[in-house]
Structure 1
Amino acid sequence: MLTGGLLALLGGAVALTLVITSAAGPDQAGPLMATPTSTPTPTVTSPANPADTAPATVEPSIPAIPPPANLPVVNYDAAPGGFPADPDPMSTVRLREGLHPTAKVGAYDAPGGRPRAFLAPTLAGVPLTVPIVERKSGWAAVLLPSANRTVAWVPPGNWKTVPLRDQLVVERKTFRLTWLRDDKPVQTWRTTLGTRATPTPLGRTFVLGRSDLGDNVYADTDVFALGAVPDDPDAVPSGLRGAHIGLHTWYNDDTLGKNVTDGCIRITKSGQRKLLEEIIPGTSLVVVDKLPAPTPGPLTAG
């Protein structure tokens, strides 16, 4: 594991300082459990007209304005303003690719638009991978770290893609977290979520990294720090200002099915340890009130 910078996470009652680590970097996908599929037999058909054989139209690339050197670098603090809203924040469609900067890259408000900040290869000392939500003219729109329901546009160059097979979906009304791999449900756990004053933020976010706290309150189990932050920073205790939303376990399961946290998502110890084995940075997590259809499968007991 790679030890990174010091981070703050929303805890139960006190502010905590975290050392974030990365279990699997951009080139490590972790354990895989793919279901074998048969290879379709190719078929050959005659085109209906000559236009069917024409090459696909390539969308012209939009040039990027060179970003000023004095722009801020996105870090664990609140992200700079001026970025656009996520075009589909409540979508539960899996985000299949992440973007990992290989050098400092400009983050823009639109393809060919105004540069607002930089994304660096690491954030708080760990490799940064942000999910791609849209592509246009060679540019990629990614979920912006340290902000809620916000994207940044990144021009071509100085980044590579990371395949993302997993997705986490949290339902606030039913207190359920479902882990999906390749769009198929794997396991579901009961959760503890934020209070009315400090609700778990709705919308798409992602796993930023993990941290080894070495603390009994977290059942001596690593926590995930997410890209999301409290919707109302002033509503959380003053000692937690600047903290991120976390996904973690707790020293007991007494509060499962209740709204008692400062916005974090708690699951069982065995559930958290399973996700720590399987989930890589950049994996998307979407919080909804309730899915249109019931989550498949029963709740996992432990």
Structure 2
Amino acid sequence: MHYDHVTGRRIPGWLFAALGVPLLLATALLVGHALTGTPAPTPVGAGPAPTGPASPRPSPVESVPPAAPAPADLPVVTYDPAPRGFPADPTPADTRQLREGARPDRKIPAYDAPGGRPRAFLAPTINDVPLTVPIVERRTGWTAVLLPSANRTVAWLPEGGWTTVALRDQIVVERRTHRLTWLRDGRAVHTWPVSLGMPGQLTPLGRTFILGRTPPPQDVYGGVDIFALGAIPDDPDAVPTGLRGAHIGLHTWYNDDTLGKNVTNGCIRLTRAAQRQLLAELSPGTALVVVDRR
């Protein structure tokens, strides 16, 4: 039973090992490799109503709320838990594919609503890994993205300072059936069995995404790189004190004996062959959604 993650500021990353074997603490740096009117009656005494085509009614112009200036001392979203005050993802269990991501070109402010309050900055990298966040909604002048280092939370970005990138892939994880499905362009490519979080440390439900990857620090990870996700434990106090602040991970293990069981500290564990294939195909920003049942 284990929990895998990469930490933030002082130490590049710590990874959990299995429950029942010594807890493995090893540093690992994230590396880059992700909206007819009815004509008026003719007044009494007036002449006949004019004939010919009616003039088109003007379409209402959508108002674009301005972006309030962001104070320079706002916090920057890092690998540590994200600042509070951002809104909840309105559709966290939505399994429709997110086909676009936002990649910051510079440090950009993130708001709690269109025209709302700036709460934090998103930087171009987290732990030196280029950041791509999936786009979940667009409104005139504003774009909502999944917030890194938070669960089921979005942030709103004004125009400018970021680039739109295409996202072809998606991962759907079903907790009740312990099944992971990789989709490309909306079509299922492959399905594998997975191990998930134990009671009290369940794999968090909802939409998240691949934040980056890290080399395996110990042999128990099967010698295969690990994906760090944007999600964190739903209950940080449920993990060992020295390992709090971890992110959920997607990785393999040194054996496949526990596939299909709830035995991890929240991570998603699959076979080495499956992990190698995903590492070769998926890019940062790829959306991953965990549902009870698809």
> Given the alignment of the two structures, is residue 275 of structure 1 paired with residue 285 of structure 2, yes or no?
no
SS at match of 2:211: strand
Note if contact 2:17-2:220 (Cα within 8 Å) is conserved in structure 1: no
- In the other structure, the counterpart of 2:47 is none
Aligned residue identity for 2:223: D
Extract unaligned runs of 5+ from structure 1: 27-48, 292-302
1:12-51 equivalences under 5 Å are 12-13=18-19, 14=23, 15-23=25-33
| TM superposition shift of 1:7 | 2.5
Note if contact 2:248-2:266 (Cα within 8 Å) is conserved in structure 1: yes
1:181-192 equivalences under 5 Å are 181-192=184-195
| TM superposition shift of 1:19 | 1.0
Note if contact 2:26-2:217 (Cα within 8 Å) is conserved in structure 1: no
Extract unaligned runs of 5+ from structure 2: 1-7, 35-52
Distance 1:78 1:51 in 2: 56
Per-residue CA deviations over 1:228-287 (Å, capped at 9, x if unaligned) read 000000001122201100000000001101111000000000000000000000000000
Among 59, 67, 70, the residue aligned to 1:64: 67
Aligned residue identity for 1:177: L
> Given the alignment of the two structures, is residue 237 of structure 1 paired with residue 243 of structure 2, yes or no?
no
Note if contact 1:208-1:226 (Cα within 8 Å) is conserved in structure 2: yes
- In the other structure, the counterpart of 1:138 is 141
Among 117, 126, 130, the residue aligned to 1:123: 126
- In the other structure, the counterpart of 2:13 is 7
Single out whichever of 198-207 and 7-16 deviates more from structure 2.
7-16
Q: 1:207 to 1:57 in 2, by over 3 A?
A: farther
- In the other structure, the counterpart of 1:102 is 105
- In the other structure, the counterpart of 2:78 is 75
SS at match of 2:69: coil
| TM superposition shift of 1:8 | 3.2
| TM superposition shift of 1:172 | 0.5
SS at match of 1:18: coil
- In the other structure, the counterpart of 1:226 is 229
Distance 1:165 1:79 in 2: 27
| TM superposition shift of 1:209 | 0.2
| TM superposition shift of 1:60 | 3.7
> Given the alignment of the two structures, is residue 254 of structure 1 paired with residue 264 of structure 2, yes or no?
no
SS at match of 1:217: helix
| TM superposition shift of 1:197 | 1.1
| TM superposition shift of 1:138 | 1.5
Aligned residue identity for 2:83: P
Which structure has the larger Rg?
2
Distance 2:58 2:100 in 1: 26
Note if contact 2:213-2:226 (Cα within 8 Å) is conserved in structure 1: yes
Per-residue CA deviations over 1:21-57 (Å, capped at 9, x if unaligned) read 111xx7xxxxxxxxxxxxxxxxxxxxxx9999x9987
SS at match of 2:70: coil
- In the other structure, the counterpart of 1:294 is none
Identity, in percent, stands at 63
SS at match of 1:277: helix
Distance 1:184 1:59 in 2: 35
| TM superposition shift of 1:87 | 0.7
Note if contact 1:7-1:124 (Cα within 8 Å) is conserved in structure 2: no
- In the other structure, the counterpart of 1:34 is none
Q: How many residues align?
A: 263
SS at match of 2:30: strand
SS at match of 1:7: coil
Note if contact 2:196-2:267 (Cα within 8 Å) is conserved in structure 1: yes
| TM superposition shift of 1:213 | 2.3
| TM superposition shift of 1:16 | 3.9
| TM superposition shift of 1:62 | 2.1
Among 170, 173, 177, the residue aligned to 2:176: 173
| TM superposition shift of 1:63 | 1.2
Note if contact 1:248-1:265 (Cα within 8 Å) is conserved in structure 2: yes
- In the other structure, the counterpart of 1:153 is 156
SS at match of 1:135: strand
Distance 1:68 1:157 in 2: 17
Distance 1:10 1:222 in 2: 14
Note if contact 1:107-1:118 (Cα within 8 Å) is conserved in structure 2: yes
SS at match of 2:115: coil
| TM superposition shift of 1:58 | 6.2
Note if contact 2:108-2:121 (Cα within 8 Å) is conserved in structure 1: yes
Distance 2:17 2:60 in 1: 51
